[in-house]
Amino acid sequence: MSTSSAARWQSSASRLLASAAVAALAGFLCAPPADRPALAQSAAAQKQTCATCHVGVATSYSHAPMRHAMDLPGANPVLETHPSLTTQIGQYSYSVQTKDGKSTYSVTDGADTMTLPIRWIFGIHSQTWVLEKDGHLYESYVSYFPRDNGLGITPGDTRITPTNLTEAMGRKISTWETLQCFTCHASGAVSGVKLTLDTLRPGLDCERCHIGSEQHMTDAQHDNFSTLPKSLKKMTSEDVSNFCGQCHRTWDTVMRNHWKGPAFVRFQPYRLESSKCFIGTDPRISCLACHNPHEQLKHDAAFYDAKCLACHSETKPAASAAATMYKACPVAKANCTSCHMPKVELPGGHAPFTDHWIRITHPGDPYPG
């Protein structure tokens, strides 16, 4: 074997090993909860998971934001790479310490100190922690914000002025809010009106969107493919908005709750449906036209140009041969989102948020909605 062929073999072997490792990881991430402890045992590792057949999408999804809507300490890169976070807010000092895969959250007023383990990490960029004290769950009063590379007051909590150490530690979360939070950030955490933390799986697993996938997996092992989960690819743009809006909030939800102002810019389906160009029958304008939920989010504005040009172009792209075309932008043909989907500063969010209300903007225009 020549040096180069040996190198190629080694490279191929590395790729195979790497693929196997990723597939195993993906399999673990997509495994039903009962399978997880068993994966440590070689015999049980033979069990089927979604990744057994759908290795590509399962591997890709293992890195997707929704998969990490919630993490546990020890599995979160932000805390691992920021082992000591501190800040001072008013008379209270905060400290988040991470060591050996465990993270603690402390607050002190100089005289007394409260230290609690971080139970759950909510969010993939900015992150807020959920703490438990005396049987109640609390949203941490401070969160981590990547733009500041440090701690700040949790969005929505700036209106709170803590009057004691517990209030300074965090905001007690109501039962209904808890159920909603855990429904959208975790899998298997809610059963009826009960929070079922013993069956909680952090992040959203396959079953969360593909209802029936676990049954399908069981049946498929017996060559029964008659119980396939409902195909989500066949949904109209309107249906996709409503589907994603289960967590990202639908236009209906925002209307029914009379929500107004930039705090709700983060509810993308509602914003998208407010766009002049949105219509429920055109697949070129839907959540899935631009985003693949099984992949990492694309942050490059140029990536989205083709999505806009699918409708707004003087020449029809081949894929749009039968579809109606709309007026092309007279200003530019690239980086469409930089003008037509302006960044909006989320109040208290320490981050700009892309407004999905696609529109022609003018300097000084007020925030619509």
Partner 1 sequence: MSFALISEAVTRGIPSSNQRLQRRRVPIAAGSLAALLLAAGVIAQQPPQFDDLARQAAAARDHGDLPQAIALYNQAEQLKPDWTEGWFYLGLLQYSTNAYPAAIDAFNHLLQLQHGAPPALALRGLCEFETAAYDDALRDLEEAVKEGAANQPRNEQIIRYHLAQLLTRASRFQDAQEQYQFFAAAHLDDADLQVGLGLAGLRVPLLSKDTPSSNRPLYQAAGAAGFSLLAGDTQEADTQFRQLFTRFPSAKGLHFFYGFLLFPHSPELAIDQFRAEVSLAPENLEAHAMLAFTLMIDGRYAEAEPEAQHVLAVTPDMELAQLALGRSLAETGDIQHATEVLNAILKRDPDNLEAHMGLATIYTRTGNREEALREHQLCRSLAK
Which position among 278, 308, 336, 340 is part of the footprint of partner 1 (CB under 8 A)?
278
Which position among 78, 151, 179, 186 is part of the footprint of partner 1 (CB under 8 A)?
179
- What is the closest distance, in whole angstroms, from the C-beta atom of residue 119 to partner 1 in the complex? 19
Query: Strand 142-145 to strand 150-153: parallel, antiparallel, or no bridges (unpaired)?
Result: antiparallel
CB under 8 A: which stretch of 93-101, 122-130, 172-180, 333-341 binds partner 1? 172-180
Which position among 252, 313, 320, 353 is part of the footprint of partner 1 (CB under 8 A)?
252
Residue of 314, 326, 318 lying closest to 285 (CA atoms)? 326
- What stretch of H or E contains 144? strand 142-145
Question: Based on CB atoms, which residue is closest to partner 1, 35 or 252?
Answer: 252
Question: Based on CB atoms, which residue is closest to partner 1, 129 or 251?
Answer: 251
Question: Based on CB atoms, which residue is closest to partner 1, 21 or 360?
Answer: 360
369 binds partner 1 (CB under 8 A): yes
192 binds partner 1 (CB under 8 A): yes
260 binds partner 1 (CB under 8 A): yes
Which position among 19, 175, 199, 221 is part of the footprint of partner 1 (CB under 8 A)?
175
Say whether 95 sits in a helix, a strand or coil: strand
CB under 8 A: which stretch of 36-44, 104-112, 248-256, 327-335 binds partner 1? 248-256
Which position among 6, 13, 34, 255 is part of the footprint of partner 1 (CB under 8 A)?
255
Residues between 201 and 220 that touch partner 1 (CB under 8 A): none
Which position among 84, 88, 163, 281 is part of the footprint of partner 1 (CB under 8 A)?
281
- What is the closest distance, in whole angstroms, from the C-beta atom of residue 172 to partner 1 in the complex? 10
* Binding footprint of partner 1 on the chain (CB under 8 A): 174-176, 179, 192-194, 236, 238, 242, 251-252, 254-256, 258, 260, 273-274, 276, 278-282, 369
